[in-house]
Amino acid sequence: MGKAKYILLDCDNTLVQSERVAFEACAELTNEVLEKHGLSDRYTASQLLHDFVGFNFRGMLKGLQQKHNFTMEDAELEDFVEQELGRVTMKLSQKAVECPGVTTELNKLKEQGYPMSVVSTSAKSRVVASIEKAKLDHFFPNEHVYSAATSLDPPSSKPDPAVYLYACKQLGVKPEECVTVEDSKSGATAAMRANIPCIAYVGIYGIEEGDEKMEEMAHLLKTETKCKAVMYRWEQFQDCLKQVEEQM
C-alpha cells in the first residue's frame, strides 16, 4: 500500500458501463416531461448523454427547465425523480457490465491493502444494482457506497463536492489523503473542489464514441479539472496511482 489512505471510485462509466443503459430510461421519461409541458423537443439517449453526462436526474430536470424555459413544481419534479429511479434501476439490474479490466485491478488493490469506496452522484439503489449485476459488490461494503442523491440531506449532484466531503468524513480520512477515479467533467470537478487527487478514466469514450472523443476528454479532464493522471485502460491504473502518489 502506498501513500493514499483510501481509493474512492465513481461508478457510472468508471466501474460499470451503465450511463448509456441508464440514459435509455432517462430519455423516455424526459420526453414525457417535455410533452407534459407542451414542448415539441425530444431527446434520444445519445443526445441526453451528450448534454447531461455526470448529472443525476434531478440535476438533469433542473437543466432542462433552464434550457427549454419551463418550470416544474417541486412535487412534480420529485415524482419524476422517483419514477426515473425505478426505471433505471430495473434496466441496470438487467444489462450493466463492468468496464473492461476493472475486476483485475480491484483485486490488485485489495491484495495491496487499499480500502475502497464508491462515491457516486447516482441514487444508492441504482449504484448497488449496477455493481451487483457487474459482480463488483464484494469489493464494496454497503455502508461504503455513498450517493449524492441518497446519502446527503438535501440531495446534491456533482460537480458539487459535498458527496466527496461527506464520504471522507464518514471514512475518517482527509480529502487530500485519498485518490479518486472519474470519467466526467462534473465528477472530476467535484474531486478538484474537494481537494482530492483525481485520475481521469477516458477509456469508456473510446468504447462508446471513438478515439477522437476519448482524446478530447483526456485533454479536457487534464487541463480544466486538473486531473493528476489520465487512464485510457484500467490496466494502466497501477502506473497512474503510482504517478499520483508521487505527488502527494
Strands (E), 4-51: 6-9, 16-17
3-state secondary structure of 8: strand
pLDDT at 58: 86
- In DSSP terms, which residues pair with 98 in a beta bridge? 16
- Whole-number percent of the chain with pLDDT over 90: 84
What would the grid cell of residue 68 be?
427549454
User: CATH 1.10.150: which residues of the chain?
Assistant: 20-95
Which amino acid would we find at residue 176? Answer: E
Segment among 12-26, 49-63, 66-80 with least mean pLDDT: 49-63
Residue-level pLDDT at 54: 67
Sequence-distant (≥ 6) Cβ neighbours of residue 112 within 8 angstroms: 1, 2
Tell me whether strands 16-17 and 97-98 are parallel, antiparallel or unpaired: antiparallel
SS3 assignment, position 89 = helix
pLDDT at position 49, please?
Answer: 80
DSSP string, 212-248: HHHHHHHHHHHHTS--SEEESSGGGHHHHHHHHHTT-
Q: Could you give the CA distance from residue 20 to residue 95 in angstroms, rounded to a whole number? A: 10
Residue ranges of the chain that CATH labels 3.40.50.1000: 6-18+96-245
Helix (H) or strand (E) holding 20: helix 19-36
Spatial neighbors of 162 by CB under 8 A, at least 6 apart, are 148, 152, 156
What class does CATH assign to 6-18+96-245?
alpha beta
**N-terminal to C-terminal alpha carbon distance within the chain:** 14
pLDDT in tens, 95-118: 999 999 999 999 999 999 999 999
| pLDDT, tens digit, 9 for 90 and up, residues 126-159 | 999 999 999 999 999 999 999 998 999 998 989 9
pLDDT of residue 59: 86
Q: With b meaning 16 or more CB within 10 Å and e meaning fewer, what string describes 182-198?
A: bbbbbbbbbbbbbebbb
Dump pLDDT digits (tens) for 40-62.
999 998 888 888 876 778 888 99
For CA atoms 181, 171, 161, 153, the dihedral sign is positive
> What integer pLDDT is reported at residue 51 of this predicted model?
85
Say whether pLDDT at 3 is over 70.
yes
Query: Into which CATH architecture does domain 20-95 fall?
Result: Orthogonal Bundle (1.10)
pLDDT digits (tens, 9 = 90+) for 193-238: 999 999 999 999 999 889 999 999 999 999 999 999 999 999 999 9
Q: Pairing mode, if any, of strands 145-147 and 116-120?
A: parallel
